[in-house]
Each structure stands twice: as C-alpha cells, then as structure tokens.
C-alpha cells in the first residue's frame, strides 16, 4: 500500500490550509505551491479533486484562494487520501473475481488483505488535520513524514488493538 506523490502533496496542501487559511483569508495555490515545494499546475489538479470531495472551498477574486470547507478536526487523512487516490487498497492485491467466504486459498488470502486495508483505514480515519497541524507546529521544521510517524507511534493501544 503505497500512496502517490499526488496524495502526499494533497496532505501537505491541506496542512498548509489548516495553518494559514481562514474564511476571510484564503490561501492562493501559488503560495501553497511555493511553501510546500509542489509544482503549481499539479497542485491545481489536486485542489480540484479536494474541492469535488467537499474538503476545500474555492474563493474567487483578486484575494481569492482556498480554505478548508470544515474544521481541521473534522477532516481526517482517510478523507484526503480517498479524495485524491480513491479507495485504499493493499497494493492491488484484491481481486474482484474471488467469491468471499468460498474457503479457497485465494479467498483466505484476500480476507487477510481486506483486514490489512481495514486496519490502515482505521488509523487514517482517526488521524485528523488538527492533530497533524499541532504536531507540525510544535516541531517547527519537521517533515510531514516524521510528524506522521510520530503520531502513529503515539497512538493509544486501544485504537491499535481494536482490530484484534
């Protein structure tokens, strides 16, 4: 399960909006692109995906740009990833032609992959932008990867063991 560069850029842009954007002060794509080192044209495509998913709003005008469509506490990483990359699947391992519960070796293996997907989605759906934003602000200069890894390692045991 590997997330695309487009998805990583989308998460960076959403974090930027959660830090710098307000309803009366939207953030322009070129500003986000400069701060996050994202090609501007590519970011425009990503922002269109996020807007279609209802995660950001576009404000028109000379001082227009983008803002989060809801509070950062209400937007989790699963929302962002699915808006950009579509449904999370374990590396193309799932097959549509397998009859679930058939008892074949492929069906059993597919059940494992479905469990893996569900665990990943559980983690991503409990990690919201506000939590990542606070971690990032406390660690001025930390990379998104480092902040995300720290958040995952600090998760309460009951969340990680909920699947067992």
Task: Give just the sign of the alpha carbon dihedral 18, 23, 28, 29.
Answer: positive
pTM (2 decimals)?
Answer: 0.73
CB 75 within 8 Å of CB 129: yes
Report the alpha-carbon distance of residue 139 to residue 143 in Å, rounded. Answer: 9
On whether the 5-163 domain is CATH 1.10.10.10, my answer is: yes
Which of the four pLDDT bands, split at 50, 70 and 90, describes residue 10? very high
Per-residue pLDDT for 160 more than 50? no
Q: Domain spans of the chain?
A: 5-163
Residue pLDDT, tens place only, 46-86 = 999 999 999 999 999 888 899 999 999 999 999 999 999 98
- Secondary structure E strands in the chain: 56-59, 65-68
Residue pLDDT, tens place only, 89-146 = 665 555 555 565 556 677 677 777 778 878 888 888 889 999 988 888 777 766 655 6
CB 83 within 8 Å of CB 53: yes
């Amino acid at each position: 399960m590997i997330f695309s560069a487009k998805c990583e850029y989308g998460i960076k842009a959403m974090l930027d909006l959660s830090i710098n954007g307000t309803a009366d002060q939207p953030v322009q794509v070129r500003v986000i692109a400069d701060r996050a080192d994202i090609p501007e044209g590519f970011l425009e495509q990503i922002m269109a995906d996020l807007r279609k998913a209802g995660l950001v709003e576009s404000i028109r005008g000379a001082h227009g740009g983008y803002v989060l469509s809801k509070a950062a506490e209400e937007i989790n990483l699963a929302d962002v990833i699915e808006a950009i990359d579509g449904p999370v699947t374990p590396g193309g391992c799932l097959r549509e032609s397998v009859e679930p519960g058939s008892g074949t070796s492929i069906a059993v293996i597919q059940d494992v992959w479905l469990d893996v997907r569900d665990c990943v989605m559980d983690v991503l759906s409990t990690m919201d932008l506000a939590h990542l934003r606070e971690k990032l602000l406390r660690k001025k200069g930390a990379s998104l990867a480092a902040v995300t890894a720290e958040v995952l390692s600090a998760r309460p045991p009951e969340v990680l063991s909920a699947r067992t």
